[in-house]
């Protein structure tokens, strides 16, 4: 999600990891001993990296879904308010017309009784 009104789909390659990013540099490390070995470190880091990445993706997907729901509900609320305003106006016009008609009938009845 970029903004509440704009989101962008991203494709990211998670697996397989590229070996060239994790290879040791040839110069300077021939005599160094790594404890634990790079394999042990990778066996620990890769699953945790994947769990964290997938969790982040799920959190972002949930947030995007909630944002879409919020936006839809705001639009529905605005539409309902507009509809209520229009219906209120129609109701008031009909009521005013009915009152005017009743007054006209009363006045015309009063005039006919005078004659």
What does the pLDDT look like over 27-43, one tens digit per residue? 555 556 667 877 888 88
Taking alpha carbons only, the member of 94, 6, 10 closest to residue 56 is 10
Say if 95 falls within a structural domain: yes
Say if 93 falls within a structural domain: yes
Within the chain, which residues score under 70 in pLDDT?
1, 4, 21-34
What pLDDT, on a 0 to 100 scale, did the predictor assign at position 62?
93
What pLDDT, on a 0 to 100 scale, did the predictor assign at position 10?
81
What pLDDT, on a 0 to 100 scale, did the predictor assign at position 42?
84
Say if 15 falls within a structural domain: no
Q: What is the mean pLDDT of the chain?
A: 85
What pLDDT, on a 0 to 100 scale, did the predictor assign at position 69?
93
Number of domains in the chain: 1
What pLDDT, on a 0 to 100 scale, did the predictor assign at position 82?
97
HSE, CB side, 13 Å, CA atoms: give it for residue 37.
Answer: 3
pTM, whole model, 2 decimals? 0.58
Q: Facing residues of 3 across strands?
A: 6
The three-point CA angle 66-72-75 to 5° equals: 145
What pLDDT, on a 0 to 100 scale, did the predictor assign at position 38?
76
Say if 7 falls within a structural domain: no
Q: By residue range, what is the domain housing residue 95?
A: 32-114
């Amino acid at each position: 999600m970029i903004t509440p009104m704009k989101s962008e789909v991203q494709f990211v390659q998670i697996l397989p990891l590229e070996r060239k990013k994790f290879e040791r540099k040839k110069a300077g490390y021939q005599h160094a001993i790594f404890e634990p070995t790079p394999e042990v470190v990778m066996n620990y880091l890769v699953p945790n990296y994947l769990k964290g990445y997938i969790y982040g993706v799920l959190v972002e997907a949930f947030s995007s879904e909630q944002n879409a729901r919020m936006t839809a509900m705001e639009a529905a609320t605005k539409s309902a308010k507009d509809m209520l305003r229009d219906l209120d106006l129609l109701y008031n016009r009909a009521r005013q017309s009915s009152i005017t008609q009743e007054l006209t009938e009363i006045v015309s009845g009063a005039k006919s009784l005078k004659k």
